[in-house]
């Protein structure tokens, strides 16, 4: 179980490899014992047959020394084999216990989360809701089935297993090190280097991997350190770590994108396999899409939850799996996947492109806003796919990869007027984006963040406070850039690096400033681009907040975003795709007083359509030659 998605990783060496090493040591030991016996016999023959004298005595002495060395080697190998034979059953028992604990966690985690959620909902008028009664019954059954009262109890049991295996492994390692040191001083062998290095090579390599997994070898935390340490490992060691801890290494900044993709797809496959097994247990066909849960009997989801399986997680896994197949022949990389993050809302990042994101000329992160989560990851995935396709046409000669970044706990309607979610998201966004420069195979032509809605608030705070290292940003449908920023300089960028797409009828951009300054206003100093919605509403509305990536109507916004993503924001002026900023105008009223009114020049013009790089007169000039 620990080789798939698991809460608790195995501790210590792989018993199969230790068993193999024991067999090797036994074989070498038998050979050395046989050789020592033959040399002893030959030594006696020399003594018996060589004429007495100085030459015969020297020959017998040399043979005796050789026999002694061989016998000592035999003893060293025998002791090493005995040390491993004591460690082997401890490792086997430890893995069985870890499997049991992972199963217990799987059974108990879902009901615990459901019960905690029911408690958090509260009891209005002192009435205990039916949901809570069901959660209590489910939790009681899960406790009986798992054999544990709480997740903390399972954690403690795992800590005991880890301590026992680590202690036995340490004892064995110390003995092997002493034996290697002893062997290094034997006749005919250079001091300081064990003559058994080759025989023990596999064991030392395994110990290094096991040490990383159990924490006895500290793996770096910063992306640069992670990347350097990763490149020092052999391909086999890397593969073993990805297999053993996909959830960890798949989401660790500094690990190359290709390896993260392998690990995260393994986690996703494990989630889908759990779904299949849960469906088998309750006797229903496995849904192949999220909507498939709507056709199953209404009591089945609660039964599955009682078995420790998250129906919410299953829906998310099916939806995420579908997104990874949407890019056709180009494919996608799963750069992040944490199904249990944010109380089950989940976390993921998908890179859409024609090349490995670590080899791309340009990299773009799409940051979504309000109510986004892994449960609707198809929304940001669609935005990223549309942008990837348009950027590919904007500059066919350069590879642009677009990342759908569902990487933070986005707010709901009750939270959206506060910046708390943006503050936490800013840290995560800056960490993920900045790490891209560490793993990339060379300088990135243009690293861009395209942030929509509340995502622009998150991005604004990342620029102000978290040292987000990008070449440019595009803030679209922004309710405000967050924090204390009043101008582009407060984002630590130039006006030519801050693009703003703000439809005049987008009600979100007409917010009262609770989330910071409006980047589309003249005083902010950004570069406003055309983003009017074809068929827009007569007044401000929520519908026009969701058309910035619209590919069907070939509108203004996606065209400008594609130019920006491809690193050609400087072409927007010649393309006629820049817009005038909003500004404040003082207006006299009928009674002679004055009021300040915000004027949006974009509201007075007709939105344009037909913007398509494939039909653009410049397309043939931009397309690479044969």
**Cβ contacts of residue 514 below 8 Å, gap of 6+?**
417, 418, 479, 480
Cα gap 250→339, rounded to integer Å: 12
pLDDT at 184 over 60: no
Tokens of 420: 């708390």
Q: How confident is the model at residue 59 (pLDDT cuts 50, 70, 90)?
A: low
Q: What is the pLDDT of residues 478-527, one digit of tens each?
A: 999 999 999 999 999 999 999 999 999 999 998 778 899 999 999 999 99
Q: What is the pLDDT of residues 372-393, one digit of tens each?
A: 999 999 999 999 999 999 999 9
Q: How confident is the model at residue 173 (pLDDT cuts 50, 70, 90)?
A: confident
Q: How many other CB atoms sit within 10 Å of the CB of residue 227?
A: 19
Q: What is the pLDDT of residue 442?
A: 86
Cα gap 595→30, rounded to integer Å: 99
**Helical H runs in 283-396?**
300-306, 311-324, 377-394
593 or 32, which is more confident: 593
Cα gap 207→240, rounded to integer Å: 12
Q: How confident is the model at residue 394 (pLDDT cuts 50, 70, 90)?
A: very high
The kind and range of the H/E element at 446 are: strand 446-452
Q: How confident is the model at residue 118 (pLDDT cuts 50, 70, 90)?
A: low
Q: How confident is the model at residue 182 (pLDDT cuts 50, 70, 90)?
A: low
Q: What is the pLDDT of residue 7?
A: 74
Instruction: Report, as an integer, the average pLDDT of 229-247.
Output: 92
Task: Please return the burial class of 521, using the count of CB atoms within 10 Å of its CB with bins 0-12, 13-18 and 19+.
Answer: buried
Pairing, β 583-588 against β 594-599: antiparallel
Q: Spell out the CATH class of 356-622.
A: alpha beta
Cα gap 93→148, rounded to integer Å: 19
Q: What is the pLDDT of residue 351?
A: 98
Q: How confident is the model at residue 193 (pLDDT cuts 50, 70, 90)?
A: very low
pLDDT at 203 over 80: no
Instruction: Report, as an integer, the average pLDDT of 247-263.
Output: 97
Report the chain's C-alpha Rg in angstroms. 33
Alpha carbon separation from 397 to 75, 360, 394, 432 (Å, rounded): 67, 12, 9, 27
Per domain, the residue ranges of the chain are 15-218, 219-325, 356-622
219 or 293, which is more confident: 219
Tokens of 441: 């195979």
Q: Which of 226, 244, 251 is nearest to 338 (CA)?
A: 251
Tokens of 131: 């949901």
Q: Which of 426, 417, 424, 421 is nearest to 465 (CA)?
A: 426
Q: What is the pLDDT of residue 87?
A: 87
Q: What is the pLDDT of residue 445?
A: 93
What is the SS3 string spanning 508-539?
HHHCCCCCCCCCCEHHHCCEEECCCCCCCCCC
Q: What is the pLDDT of residue 180?
A: 67
Window from 47-51, 412-416, 453-457, 496-500 with minimum mean pLDDT = 47-51
Q: What is the pLDDT of residue 206?
A: 46
Q: What percent of the chain has pLDDT over 90?
A: 49
Q: Which of 76, 83, 26, 86 is nearest to 179 (CA)?
A: 76
The three-point CA angle 485-423-460 to 5° equals 35
Tokens of 165: 């295996």
Q: Which of 439, 438, 478, 441 is nearest to 459 (CA)?
A: 478
Q: What is the pLDDT of residue 168?
A: 85
What angle, 0 to 180 degrees and rounded to 10, lies between the N-to-C axes of helices 377-394 and 311-324?
A: 10
The torsion region of residue 405 among left (phi > 0), alpha (psi -120 to 50) and beta comes to: beta
| Four-residue CA torsion sign, 619, 605, 496, 362 | negative
Contact 275, 286 (CB under 8 A): yes
298 or 7, which is more confident: 298
**Helical H runs in 440-570?**
454-465, 556-565
Instruction: Report, as an integer, the average pLDDT of 68-94.
Output: 76
Beta strands in 339-399 (DSSP E): 347-352, 362-367
Window from 22-36, 158-172, 197-211, 273-287 with minimum mean pLDDT = 197-211
pLDDT at 5 over 90: no
123 or 358, which is more confident: 358
Q: How many other CB atoms sit within 10 Å of the CB of residue 538?
A: 6
Q: Give the mean pLDDT of the chain.
A: 84
Q: What is the pLDDT of residues 561-570, one digit of tens each?
A: 999 999 999 9
Strand order across the 446-452 sheet: 332-338, 347-352, 400-406, 362-367, 446-452, 472-476, 498-501, 527-529
Alpha carbon separation from 87 to 140, 161, 169, 199 (Å, rounded): 38, 14, 7, 18
Cα gap 274→229, rounded to integer Å: 33
44-83 exposure pattern, b = at least 16 Cβ within 10 A, e = fewer: eebeeeeeeeeeeeeebeebbebbbbbbbbbbbbbbbbeb
The torsion region of residue 533 among left (phi > 0), alpha (psi -120 to 50) and beta comes to: beta
Q: What is the pLDDT of residue 9?
A: 85
Tokens of 323: 């997104």
550 or 76, which is more confident: 550
The kind and range of the H/E element at 498 are: strand 498-501
Q: What is the pLDDT of residues 531-559, one digit of tens each?
A: 999 999 889 999 999 999 999 889 999 99
pTM over 0.85: no
The torsion region of residue 129 among left (phi > 0), alpha (psi -120 to 50) and beta comes to: beta
Cα gap 217→447, rounded to integer Å: 34
Q: What is the pLDDT of residue 439?
A: 96
Instruction: Report, as an integer, the average pLDDT of 251-279.
Output: 93
Pairing, β 400-406 against β 347-352: antiparallel
423 or 80, which is more confident: 423
The kind and range of the H/E element at 328 are: none
- The three-state secondary structure class of 251 is coil
88 or 33, which is more confident: 88
Q: What is the pLDDT of residues 8-18, one digit of tens each?
A: 888 888 888 88
pLDDT at 204 over 60: no
Q: What is the pLDDT of residue 151?
A: 87
Task: Please return the burial class of 327, using the count of CB atoms within 10 Å of its CB with bins 0-12, 13-18 and 19+.
Answer: buried
Most confidently modeled of 92-96, 127-131, 465-469? 465-469
Contact 399, 354 (CB under 8 A): yes
- End-to-end CA distance of the chain: give it in Å, rounded: 51
Cα gap 200→29, rounded to integer Å: 13
pLDDT at 267 over 70: yes
Q: What is the pLDDT of residue 199?
A: 33
The kind and range of the H/E element at 451 are: strand 446-452
pLDDT at 39 over 80: no
Window from 280-289, 338-347, 392-401 with minimum mean pLDDT = 280-289
């Amino acid at each position: 179980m620990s080789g798939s998605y698991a809460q608790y990783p195995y501790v210590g060496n792989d018993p199969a490899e230790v068993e193999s090493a024991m067999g090797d040591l036994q074989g070498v030991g038998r050979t050395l014992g046989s050789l020592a016996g033959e040399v002893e016999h030959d030594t006696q023959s020399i003594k018996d047959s060589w004429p007495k004298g100085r030459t015969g005595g020297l020959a017998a002495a040399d043979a005796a020394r050789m026999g002694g060395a061989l016998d000592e080697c035999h003893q060293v190998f025998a002791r090493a084999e005995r040390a491993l034979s004591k460690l082997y059953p401890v490792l086997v028992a430890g893995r069985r216990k870890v499997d049991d604990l992972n199963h217990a966690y799987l059974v108990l985690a879902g009901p615990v989360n459901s019960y905690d959620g029911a408690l958090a909902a509260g009891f209005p008028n002192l009435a205990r809701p039916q949901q809570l009664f069901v959660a209590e019954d489910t939790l009681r059954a899960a406790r009986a089935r798992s054999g544990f009262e709480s997740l903390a109890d399972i954690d403690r049991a795992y800590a005991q297993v880890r301590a026992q295996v680590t202690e036995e492994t340490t004892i064995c390692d110390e003995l092997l090190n002493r034996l290697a040191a002893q062997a290094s001083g034997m006749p005919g062998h250079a001091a300081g280097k064990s003559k058994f290095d080759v025989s023990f090579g596999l064991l030392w390599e395994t110990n290094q991997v096991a040490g990383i997994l159990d924490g006895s070898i500290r793996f770096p935390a910063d992306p640069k350190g992670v990347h350097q340490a990763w490149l020092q490992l052999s391909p086999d060691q890397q593969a073993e770590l990805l297999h053993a801890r996909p959830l960890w290494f798949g989401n660790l900044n500094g690990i190359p994108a290709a390896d993260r993709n392998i690990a995260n797809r393994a986690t996703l496959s494990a989630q889908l396999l759990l779904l299949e097994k849960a469906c088998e247990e309750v006797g229903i066909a496995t849904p192949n899409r999220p909507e498939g849960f709507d056709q199953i009997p209404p009591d089945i989801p609660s039964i599955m939850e009682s078995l420790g399986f998250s129906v919410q997680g299953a829906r998310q896994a099916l939806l995420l799996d579908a997104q990874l197949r949407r890019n056709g022949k180009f494919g996608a990389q799963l750069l992040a996947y944490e199904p249990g993050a944010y109380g089950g809302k989940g976390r993921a990042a998908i890179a859409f492109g024609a090349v490995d994101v670590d080899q791309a000329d340009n990299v773009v992160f799409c940051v979504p806003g309000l109510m986004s989560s892994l449960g609707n990851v198809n929304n940001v995935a669609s935005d990223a796919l549309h942008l990837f396709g348009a950027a590919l046409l904007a500059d066919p000669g350069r590879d642009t990869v677009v990342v759908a970044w569902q990487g933070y706990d986005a707010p709901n309607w009750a939270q959206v007027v506060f910046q708390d979610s943006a503050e936490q998201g800013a840290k995560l966004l800056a960490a993920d984006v900045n790490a891209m420069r560490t793993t990339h195979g060379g300088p990135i032509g243009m690293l861009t963040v395209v942030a929509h809605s509340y995502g622009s608030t998150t991005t604004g705070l990342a620029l102000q406070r978290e040292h987000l290292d990008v070449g440019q940003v595009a803030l679209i449908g922004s309710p405000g850039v967050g924090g204390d920023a009043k101008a582009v300089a407060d984002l630590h960028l130039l006006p030519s690096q801050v693009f703003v797409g703000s439809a005049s009828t987008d009600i979100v951009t007409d917010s009262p400033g609770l989330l910071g300054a409006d980047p589309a206003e003249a005083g902010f100093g950004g570069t406003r681009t055309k983003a009017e919605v074809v068929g827009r509403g007569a007044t401000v509305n929520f519908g026009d907040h969701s058309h910035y990536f619209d590919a069907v109507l070939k509108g203004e916004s996606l065209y400008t975003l594609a130019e920006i993503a491809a690193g050609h924001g400087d072409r927007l002026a010649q393309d006629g795709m820049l817009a005038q900023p909003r500004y404040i105008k003082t207006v006299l009223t009928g009674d002679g007083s004055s009021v300040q009114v915000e004027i949006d020049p974009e509201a007075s013009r007709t939105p344009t359509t037909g913007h398509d790089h494939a039909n653009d007169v410049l397309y043939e000039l931009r397309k690479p030659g044969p």
